[in-house]
Structure 1
């Protein structure tokens, strides 16, 4: 069938209009939120090591899943009072991954009651950020997978001696490639839900070293790498339980805790 130039021009114009009016394809993203208190007294070197290790961990996730890493890094001294608002403003889609990591001092007070998650102490502000508040913000984003880890103490100090929460000092103690990529895809692309971790239960300190970083962060990354290299499917429950067990077996008086609510997509 032959078309006149006028009809062809009209058809082309209609195509261009529909193309620009149609929804744009969304590329899946890992929204990486790292809050690392690199000015934390006595543990600044350990925190810096944690930051470097988690950066490398995220890069590996991006390489294996082919997802873009959307970086939101908050390091001392560039940690401000509106940090919760800044995290709240990060926009995510339902098929994205939200990844949160904190390294620094942590504490809890008797008034925190049954809530097991610590306050995250922010040296530049001399105040505490409630980990529960951050968890709630991250869950509201309704991403496919929400992963959150805080490597810090969770020991109890009296309310009257505690830094003010932000509304609201703690002392530092001292396979084959195809299998790997399949396991990364299973853990990050084919999993829905939320994972929340704290490196210590209520009442416990968290330990770390200047050379290796936080003990929990070290063990978590070791276990993760061991599991993704196995030929059988990797499992978040195995990774988290084994990481906790490794830390507990060091007999430092540090017992990690986690809450996992995930399913296969």
Structure 2
């Protein structure tokens, strides 16, 4: 009888965990200034890399992932904010925001994170990384904050003269990664903010993509191969924000940055 009771409890725990995972949605908003004449090709490459990562999480992790992309002619502050505002969040959900494009900071900036350079008209709309996070963590009305919030920006964080902008500018097996995707995107709770550069610094791109995005995707993919109990967002953040050597004529070091808040893995998953 004792063995049967233990087996029944184990089955109940397994089914509860399964139902909980199935009820979770992951809402992703990918934003890219793909038409910029200086970094557009690199931005497009970044979006492909992040889209591929989410596609792998969907198929290999069996996750319910909804993806919205703001790019090309739709890229401006109003459409970016609308895409974020349109997310309908349940308290068990994960929200993933990714931005690739130009960024800057004002003389009045109050946080270490950049503002997105999505100004395409005299419309006063502004989108800042920290405000995006704050708006999702403290929504108005009856909506709860997401269980896990991830906001990444591969963008510069340099001061800019304020005013109107110029107009146009060896994979692992499925079995290896299934539980790892779910641990990172279902079992974790908390908030992660990352940007490709520290205050006052640029974020560097090649036509094949941004250095920071490549480092983040590489760190994420490598973490998926760790033993399941060792798969941790904390390790991804550490690796993704390592100093990046930029092979310019005068050697340059890009310094990504991150802040994490209340990160933890649910007891049911441990």
- Bin of the TM-score, shorter chain as denominator length: 0.7 to 0.9
Is contact 2:68–2:83 with CA below 8 Å preserved after alignment?
Answer: no
Q: Distance in 2 between matches of 1:80 and 1:120?
A: 10
> What is residue 145 of structure 1 aligned with on the other side?
148
Q: Who wins on radius of gyration, i.e. which is larger?
A: 1
Deviates more, 1:44-53 or 1:249-258: 249-258
Deviates more, 1:244-253 or 1:220-229: 244-253
> What is residue 265 of structure 2 aligned with on the other side?
264
Is contact 2:243–2:255 with CA below 8 Å preserved after alignment?
Answer: no
> What is residue 70 of structure 2 aligned with on the other side?
74
Q: Distance in 1 between matches of 2:83 and 2:173?
A: 40
Q: Distance in 1 between matches of 2:163 and 2:62?
A: 42
- Is 2:200 the partner of 1:206? no
Alignment of 1:82-231 (within 5 A): 82-83=78-79, 84-113=81-110, 115-122=111-118, 124-125=120-121, 129-140=127-138, 142-157=145-160, 161-163=161-163, 177-211=174-208, 213-231=209-227
Deviation at 1:195, TM superposition (A): 0.7
Deviations 1:86-128 (A, max 9, x none): 4223101111111100000011122214x10111011644775
> Given the superposition, is the C-alpha separation of residues 82 and 30 from structure 1 closer, same or farther in structure 2, using an over 3 Å criterion?
same
> Given the superposition, is the C-alpha separation of residues 187 and 249 from structure 1 closer, same or farther in structure 2, using an over 3 Å criterion?
farther
Instruction: Give unmatched runs, 5+ long, in structure 1.
Output: 1-25
Deviation at 1:239, TM superposition (A): 1.1
Instruction: Give unmatched runs, 5+ long, in structure 2.
Output: 1-21, 139-143
> Given the superposition, is the C-alpha separation of residues 176 and 58 from structure 1 closer, same or farther in structure 2, using an over 3 Å criterion?
closer
> What is residue 11 of structure 2 aligned with on the other side?
none
What is the TM-score normalised by the length of structure 2?
0.76
> Given the superposition, is the C-alpha separation of residues 209 and 226 from structure 1 closer, same or farther in structure 2, using an over 3 Å criterion?
same
- Is 2:56 the partner of 1:53? no
> Given the superposition, is the C-alpha separation of residues 110 and 252 from structure 1 closer, same or farther in structure 2, using an over 3 Å criterion?
same
Q: How large is the Cα RMSD of the aligned pairs? A: 2.6
Q: Distance in 2 between matches of 1:258 and 1:33?
A: 19
